[in-house]
């Protein structure tokens, strides 16, 4: 695992200066504290900050091919490199290292961009082909690892985090109001957009080819999500599907244990992480250290009893970080520095503390359970879609809305109201079942109510109860041509995966808080073989009636205690308003909160309606009961203000923390090996 940066001269420019690459690398030393490496020639400069996990002594980057005409910098892991290497050696390639990075170099020599289809891993990669004078930027299939780029002054500038781009000469940050609209509707921007004007990402499963003297084109897909379910006549017995899932998941877990350093695991107390951790214990001889979050004095968020039960069942060396609302408020500014985007949840903060615990115990790698909910239908939003479609067949039924009581046990608002209110809430747009966005319309409509706090959005306020409908003034998530052929569950899964998974869950809640402490997360459920298998499953073995992850629960019967596999899905959440405004238990609000919410700070950023925010803050500080939407607005406003303060107003203050002069540098000049 590493971080990458680079600059390509698109126009006639001097060679990229070493100091530029070092300044860019210095901003992401947290991702790669074990060494810096650069490659430079007349057209391109590539940089790498290394977190050494495989081939500790020989894997320094950049790495070139035999004659020094192809060079790579790379962030991530290719888990099937062990299987790929022998075939490359048979084809005559000579290896100078034992790392997975060099495997990609030689695959590129033979296959060009098509080599990406052969990789089973999580990666962001930059490959410079000196003979073709082309730069390949690519990102793994579901976007586990980030990769951003921008154009400025005749140069293409890229890196693993946005802050690396801002360290390049002349590149500045400006928050994009349209990005805020997207975040305050969908919980994230829509790829390739980011929170900043002119800075975009390489979308998951895409690659970009750029050449000096040519315009930079659009990123092209090398892989797409596909949900073609088998015809009824071709469906197999459930046991066949179960056996195949187990076989794939065991192998996906096994190859993700490949490392020259110890590998641990996160235990959330739920089925997903418990399953993969149980596979490690059952099918390997690997040492097993596990890590969890406990929410002290917050039973509505705490799952520590289930975590301890699973750790005892497996006999792991288990460690816990105890997280209070005050802890969340304390670390939140640093969390936002790493997420580089406004967020509508406080959940990344405990993950930040958890990764710090992992690093304190001298571990660099953890396996986690992300992906199971998306690809095996674990979220309540899938059940919500099913209930609403069932209800829509008889819109006047009084019995069918009663099924809604089985949804969202974690949201107090929906469990303390009358049945009539609950029915009215979920009935909005009920019969619009032909809408491609039907499954997510209630969520997006509800979240869009937070947009009333944005500056100059009074004209939008009356639109938020219209199920977004024709009044929707935020770009819709793009859909593939084959979307209409998929089942309703598959359509809902696509929206959840393409909008929420890579843009928020794997980024703000995954890669960023982990890599803030130089910890690499690995995700067996996101092995592309597991994904493609799950996407071909009949809907009924994923969502069985209103039983989420039906097939995975059958596997859970074999691997984990009944109280783990039988428990209903409980989404990971964290306290919000109490973390920032105190409550009798957590003490007073952090000083930074009043600073970023001051009238002067709000007017300076120009992002929010100062009066509306002041009213919201008074309510939170006064201890009044906060709705789910108000909680989202609180964390959204605070995080956006921090993004403005840290990246727009005072970014230069962080440049001084680079300290690249204290770290090992590998400098590879053009023509050297």
3-state secondary structure of 71: strand
Contacts of 355 (CB under 8 A, 6+ apart): 513, 514, 515, 516, 517, 519
Question: What is the full DSSP assignment across 440-488?
Answer: GHHHHHHHHGGGGGBTT-HHHHTTTTTTSTTT--SPPPP--GGGGGS-H
The pLDDT value recorded for residue 657 is: 56
Give the Cα separation of 546 and 383 in Å (integer).
Answer: 6
* Residue in this structure with the two tokens 């039906």, named with its chain if needed: 550
Q: What percent of the chain has pLDDT over 70?
A: 91
Q: How confident is the model at residue 528 (pLDDT cuts 50, 70, 90)?
A: very high
What DSSP string runs through 138-182? Answer: EE-TT-SS--EEEEETTEEEEESSHHHHHTSTT----B-HHHHHH
* DSSP, residue by residue, 223-274: ------PPPGGGPPPHHHHHHHHHHHHHHHHHHTT--SS-EEEE--SSHHHH
Q: What is the mean pLDDT of the segment spanning 364-392?
A: 96
pLDDT at 256 over 80: yes
pLDDT of residue 584: 43
Place of tokens 């984990």: 560
What angle do helix axes 441-448 and 177-186 make, rounded to 10 degrees?
130
More confident residue, 490 or 402: 490
pLDDT at residue 239 is higher than 70 = yes
Residue 381 has pLDDT above 60, yes or no: yes
Say which residues have a Cβ less than 8 Å from residue 594's Cβ, sequence separation at least 6. Answer: none
Closest CA to 445 of 433, 427, 459: 427
Query: Which three-class secondary structure state does DSSP give residue 135?
Result: strand
Q: How many CB atoms lie within 10 A of CB 276?
A: 26
Express each pLDDT in 283-314 by its tens digit. 888 779 999 999 988 888 999 999 999 999 99
Compute the C-alpha angle 93/96/97, nearest 5°. Answer: 115
Q: What is the pLDDT of residues 162-201, one digit of tens each?
A: 999 999 999 999 999 999 999 999 999 999 999 999 999 9
In this predicted structure, the answer to whether residue 440 has a pLDDT above a threshold of 90 is: yes
Residue 667: what pLDDT? 67
In the predicted model, is pLDDT for residue 372 greater than 80?
yes
pLDDT at 491 over 80: yes
CA-to-CA dists, residue 208 to 76, 101, 117, 148, 536, angstroms: 18, 19, 15, 11, 29
Beta sheet of 263-266, edge-to-edge order: 317-323, 289-295, 263-266, 365-367, 520-522
Q: What is the pLDDT of residue 462?
A: 39
Residue 441: partners with Cβ closer than 8 Å, 6 or more residues away: 428, 429, 432, 435, 467, 468
pLDDT at 40: 96
Strand spans (E) along 29-120: 36-40, 44-50, 63-64, 70-78
Q: Can you give the pLDDT at residue 458?
A: 46
Q: What is the spatial distance between Cα 317 and Cα 531, in angstroms, rounded to a whole number?
A: 30
User: What domains can be seen in the chain, in order of their start residue?
Assistant: 2-173+195-222 (3.60.20.10), 232-375+520-565 (3.40.50.620), 577-655 (no CATH)
The model's confidence at residue 282, banded by pLDDT at 50, 70 and 90, is very high
Question: What's the CA gap between 14 and 5, in Å, rounded?
Answer: 18
Q: What is the pLDDT of residues 531-588, one digit of tens each?
A: 999 999 999 999 999 999 999 999 999 999 999 999 888 889 999 999 999 864 445 7
Q: Which of 35, 66, 30, 64 is nearest to 48 (CA)?
A: 35
The arithmetic mean of pLDDT across residues 668-672, rounded, is 55
Tell me the pLDDT of the chain averaged across its residues. 91
In the prediction, which pLDDT does 662 show?
Answer: 47
What per-residue confidence (pLDDT) applies to 563? 93
Residue 280 in tokens: 């490690």
Q: What is the pLDDT of residues 448-485, one digit of tens each?
A: 999 999 997 544 443 444 444 434 578 899 999 999 99
Cα–Cα distance, 460 to 464 (Å, whole number): 7
Q: How far apart are CA 69 and CA 60, in angstroms?
A: 18
DSSP state for residue 589 in the 8-state scheme: P
Query: What residues contact residue 209 under an 8 Å CB cut-off, 6+ apart?
Result: 113, 134, 135, 136, 217, 220
Amino acid 672: pLDDT: 41
pLDDT tens for each residue of 49-75: 987 777 666 678 899 999 999 999 999
Is pLDDT above 50 for 238? yes
610, two tokens: 């100062």
pLDDT tens digits along 606-661? 999 999 999 999 999 988 889 999 999 999 999 999 999 999 998 876 665 554 44
Q: What are phi and psi of 75, to 5 degrees?
A: -120, 115
Residue 9 structure tokens: 């001269």
> Quick one: tokens of 673?
């090996």
Query: What is the rounded CA–CA span in Å between residue 65 and residue 52?
Result: 20
Look up residue 92 and give its two tokens.
């005559």
Torsion angles phi and psi, residue 444, rounded to 5: -65, -35
CA distances from 592 to 173, 285, 327, 450 (A): 22, 47, 14, 22
Q: How many other β-carbons are positioned within 10 Å of the β-carbon of residue 443?
A: 17
């Amino acid at each position: 695992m590493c971080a990458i940066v680079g600059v390509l001269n698109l126009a006639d420019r001097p060679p990229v200066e070493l100091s530029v690459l070092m300044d860019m690398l210095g901003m992401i030393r947290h991702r790669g504290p074990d060494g810096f490496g650069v490659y430079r020639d007349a057209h391109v400069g590539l940089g790498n900050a290394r977190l050494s996990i495989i081939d500790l002594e020989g894997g320094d980057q950049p790495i070139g091919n035999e004659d020094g005409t192809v060079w790579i910098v790379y962030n991530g892991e290719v888990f099937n490199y062990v299987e790929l290497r022998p075939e490359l050696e048979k084809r005559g390639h000579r290896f100078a290292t034992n790392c997975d990075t060099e495997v990609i170099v030689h695959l590129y020599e033979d296959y060009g961009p098509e080599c990406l289809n052969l990789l089973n891993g999580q990666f962001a990669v930059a490959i410079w082909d000196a003979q073709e004078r082309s730069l390949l930027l690519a990102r793994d299939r579901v976007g586990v690892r980030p990769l951003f780029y921008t154009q400025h002054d005749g140069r293409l500038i890229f890196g693993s985090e946005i802050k690396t781009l801002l360290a390049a000469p002349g590149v500045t940050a400006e928050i994009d109001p349209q990005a805020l609209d997207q975040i305050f509707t969908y919980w994230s921007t829509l790829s390739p957009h980011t929170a900043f004007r002119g800075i975009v990402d390489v979308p998951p499963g895409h690659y970009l080819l750029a050449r000096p003297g040519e315009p930079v084109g659009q990123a092209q897909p090398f892989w797409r999500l596909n949900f073609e379910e088998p015809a009824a006549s071709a469906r197999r017995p459930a046991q066949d599907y179960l056996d195949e899932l187990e076989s794939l998941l065991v192998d996906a877990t096994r190859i993700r244990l490949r490392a020259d350093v110890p590998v641990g695991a996160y235990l959330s107390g739920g089925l997903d992480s418990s399953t993969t951790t149980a596979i490690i214990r059952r099918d390997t001889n690997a040492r097993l250290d596990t890590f969890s979050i406990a929410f002290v004095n917050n039973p509505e968020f705490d799952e520590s009893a289930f975590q301890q039960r699973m750790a005892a069942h497996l006999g792991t060396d288990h460690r816990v970080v105890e997280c209070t609302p005050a802890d969340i408020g304390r670390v939140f500014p640093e969390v936002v520095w790493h997420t580089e985007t406004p967020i509508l949840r406080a959940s990344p903060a405990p993950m930040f503390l958890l990764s710090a615990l992992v690093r304190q115990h001298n571990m660099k790698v953890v396996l986690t359970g992300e992906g199971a909910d998306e690809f095996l239908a674990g979220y309540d939003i899938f059940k919500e879609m099913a209930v609403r479609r069932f209800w829509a067949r008889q819109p006047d039924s009084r019995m069918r809305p009663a099924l809604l009581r089985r949804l969202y046990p974690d949201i107090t608002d929906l469990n303390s109201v009358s049945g009539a209110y609950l029915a009215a809430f979920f009935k909005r747009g009920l019969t619009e079942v032909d809408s491609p966005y039907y499954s997510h319309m209630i969520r997006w409509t509800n979240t869009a109510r937070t947009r009333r706090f944005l500056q100059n959005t009074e004209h939008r306020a009356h639109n938020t109860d219209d199920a977004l409908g024709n009044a929707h003034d935020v770009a819709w998530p793009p859909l593939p041509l084959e979307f209409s052929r998929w089942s309703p569950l598959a359509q809902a899964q696509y929206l959840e995966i393409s909008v929420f998974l890579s843009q928020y869950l794997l980024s703000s809640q995954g890669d960023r808080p982990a890599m803030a402490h130089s910890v690499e997360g690995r995700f067996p459920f996101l092995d592309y073989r597991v994904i493609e298998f799950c996407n071909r499953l009949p809907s009924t073995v994923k969502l069985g009636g209103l039983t989420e992850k039906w097939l995975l629960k059958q596997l859970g019967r074999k691997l984990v205690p009944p109280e783990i596999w039988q428990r209903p899905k409980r989404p990971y959440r964290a306290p919000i308003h109490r973390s920032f405004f105190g409550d009798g238990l957590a003490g007073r609000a952090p000083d930074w909160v009043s600073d970023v919410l001051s009238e002067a700070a709000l007017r300076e950023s120009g992002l929010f309606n100062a009066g509306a925010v002041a009213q919201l803050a008074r309510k939170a500080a006064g201890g009044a009961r906060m709705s789910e939407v108000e909680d989202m607005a609180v964390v959204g406003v605070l995080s956006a203000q921090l993004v403005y303060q840290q990246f727009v107003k005072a970014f230069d203050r962080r440049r001084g923390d680079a300290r690249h002069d204290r770290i090992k540098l590998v400098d590879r000049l053009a023509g050297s090996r």
